[in-house]
Structure 1
Amino acid sequence: MPPCGADGSARICGRLAPSPTGYAHLGNAWAFLLAWLAVRARKGVLILRLEDIDPQRSRPEFAAALLEDLRWLGLDWDQGPDVGGPLGPYEQSRRGAAYAEALARLEAAGLTYPCFCTRKELRLLAAAPHVDDAGAPYPGTCRELNAAQREALFRSGRRAAVRLRCPGESVEFEDALLGPQSFRLEECGGDFALRRSDGVVAYQLAVAVDDALMGVNQVVRGRDILPSTPRQIALLRLLGHNAPQYAHIPLLLDGEGRRLAKRHRSLALRSLREQGVTPRRIVGLLSRLAGLNPRGVPVSPAELLPDFALERLPGTDQRVTDQDLRQLAP
């Protein structure tokens, strides 16, 4: 088989894209298990890509722990930072040249502009009321500055981020779970950053470029990322690439209805492992919540493959109750 994306074939190519900013928890395991099943059930190629673009939050010890925890859970991948492959590097922190080239193309096409808004000003925007995870929309403060105004701001010592002049038309796509989707980018935060004022490439650009260059044609991720999808599709189209097929899965919640996150330290995979919980019990619980294993019997990820289909997944978020956690105990 040719490497993922090398021949333009229709072979499924998916990815796991953990951020090494903490230890993997049950919510991460839920998303990665379903993404893994969606690729392996169709005999596709799976890439593991470390999204460590943020130097302030990413740590090498978390990166090593993520790979260890995912393998302990029973997941594997065909390409990644530990196994290599033809499309690396597989760490975003080493892919700066690809991002710079894409940004230069967008700038040359007149699709970007410098934004001099300070972090304080942006924090005030973020604190304003808004309706969804996209955050407060950027009002275009710096969009129409003329050359003289920009030069004066640069001379005064102000650093600039780079923002995309978002297209005005709607971005439409078919989600494999949620069905037809249509967004205007102004509904998703408006002109978004491509590079921060400190020079760090923004998440949206890095993800879009990586998915394109790695030939990723299937993305399975949490529905909380849905507001990012129209932005990434817009970037892919502006750069001349096709968008993947997206499937935004329901979230895993705690007993109080809050999304599982790094604050749930007791639910970190390594914490559970230290308590004697087995990976088969964890996969059994997650697959029951996903509607793939009604009795929740302990299983390996591979045992779920014969009957897996994205269409079988629930349409609503799922809660991990105290009783669920007690049943994990050895």
Structure 2
Amino acid sequence: MPPLMYIGRFAPSPTGLLHFGSLVAAVGSWLCARHAGGQWLVRVEDIDPPREVAGSAQAILAALASFGLQADGPVVYQSQRIQAYEAAFASLKARRVAFPCWCSRADLALRGGMHRDGICVAAPDPDRPPAWRVRTPDRDIAFDDALQGPQRQHLRDEAGDFVIRRVEGFFAYQLACVVDDAWQGVTEVVRGSDLLDSTARQIWLQEELGLPTPRYVHLPLALDGDGRKLSKSDQAHPVDPLDPLPALRQALAFLGVPPSLRAATPAALLAHALAAFEPQKMPHCSARSAA
């Protein structure tokens, strides 16, 4: 059998404009895919309408294009994939891996803030819909991150019975992410290390749903002057798609790639960076950003 083609992806949430931290993740995933001679896909994770900012999906896609980051295929929108999540959800329910939960925040506070043991302590309430959780096993999930090294998480104690469908009916990130990574054939997930804690849950869901497990690479985070992660929720300054070269050079330097000062276009700068790129030389630790 020939080896699988490398398929990577960048999966932004449309909750604001593209900021420097997201640009680092996009560039890092693009470099890894191109270095491997593979494909780079873009998926818009728009399944949380209360947090979505109108027009931000289109603005993010336009910004990626201005930075020379072109996807190898049509953009996938998770809002158009609900039937696939319904099918995965039905499978988990049929095998009693998923269960309804009416626990309030006060109920969870009495249990140390985390739901465990697959038992909802609140009485079923016919007047309000439940959240749906999964019964996590009493076991360790171990994996090797290509950049952060060996990882291990005890699922029951550290993740607990996590939500896969919210009270409002929206599917949670953990379930939608694993369903779509498998459907798109993603072989390596390159993303920020703020999502490292999600990986054990996703590997376990992949096992439960009979889905393949990709490799994982968790990039260092770009921090602000106070040492906090740059994020749209903290009103991080968006990058300027009308003047892409300064932010693109900074993102490459952040990833340990020596950028060319002579490159006059994003395409030329990315081509120069790709020729010099060595994945194993990317930094491991998060750092303050000059952006």
Q: Same fold (TM over 0.5)?
A: yes
Distance in 1, matches of 2:257 and 2:110, equals 42
The alpha-carbon deviation at position 118 of structure 1 amounts to: 3.0
CA RMSD of aligned residues (A): 2.5
CA distance in 2, matches of 1:236, 1:263: 29
Between the aligned partners of 2:3 and 2:183, the Cα distance in structure 1 is: 14
Provide the secondary structure at the position in 2 that maps to 1:49: strand
**Which runs of 5 or more structure 2 residues have no equivalent in the other structure?**
none
Quick one: distance in 1 between partners of 2:225 and 2:260?
20
Matched-pair identity in %:
38
Cα deviation per residue 1:108-147 (whole Å; 9 max; x = unaligned)?
Answer: 112111100235656x589x7xxxxxxx43245x7166xx
- Structure 2 partner of 1:45: 39
Residue 267 of structure 1 aligns to a residue whose secondary structure is: coil
Secondary structure of 1:292's match? coil
Change over 3 Å in CA distance of 1:120–1:91 after alignment to 2: farther
In the TM superposition, residue 260 of structure 1 has moved relative to its aligned partner by 1.0
CA distance in 2, matches of 1:210, 1:313: 27
C-alpha distance after superposition, 1:148-194 (max 9, x if no partner): x86xx243x13211110112221111110111211111343201011
Which of residues 6, 26, 30 in structure 1 aligns to 2:20? 26
**1:1-330 alignment to 2 at 5 Å?**
9-81=3-75, 90-118=76-104, 136-140=113-117, 143=119, 153-155=124-126, 157-262=127-232, 265=235, 267-269=237-239, 272-273=240-241, 278-293=243-258, 300-321=269-290, 325=291
| CA deviation after TM superposition for structure 1 residue 294, in Å | 6.9
Q: Is the 8 A contact 1:74 1:279 kept in 2?
A: no
Deviations 1:87-118 (A, max 9, x none): xxx11111110001001111111211110023
Q: What is the aligned partner in structure 2 of residue 86 from structure 1?
A: none
TM-score by length of 1: 0.80
1:9/1:154 CA distance change after superposition, 3 Å? farther
Question: Unaligned regions of 5+ residues in structure 1, if any?
Answer: 1-6, 82-89, 129-135, 326-330
CA offsets 1:16-63 (integer angstroms, 9 cap, x no match)? 100001011111101111011010111111111000000111244001
- The answer to whether the 8 Å contact 1:125/1:138 transfers is no
Say if 1:319 and 1:100 are closer, same or farther in 2 by CA, change over 3 A: same
> Matches of 2:49 and 2:105 in 1, distance apart?
17
Q: Counterparts of 1:112 and 1:8 in 2: how far apart (Å)?
A: 37
Query: Whole-Å Cα distance in 2 between the matches of residues 266 and 167 of structure 1?
Result: 38
Q: Which amino acid aligns with 1:207?
A: C
Q: TM-score, normalised by structure 2?
A: 0.90
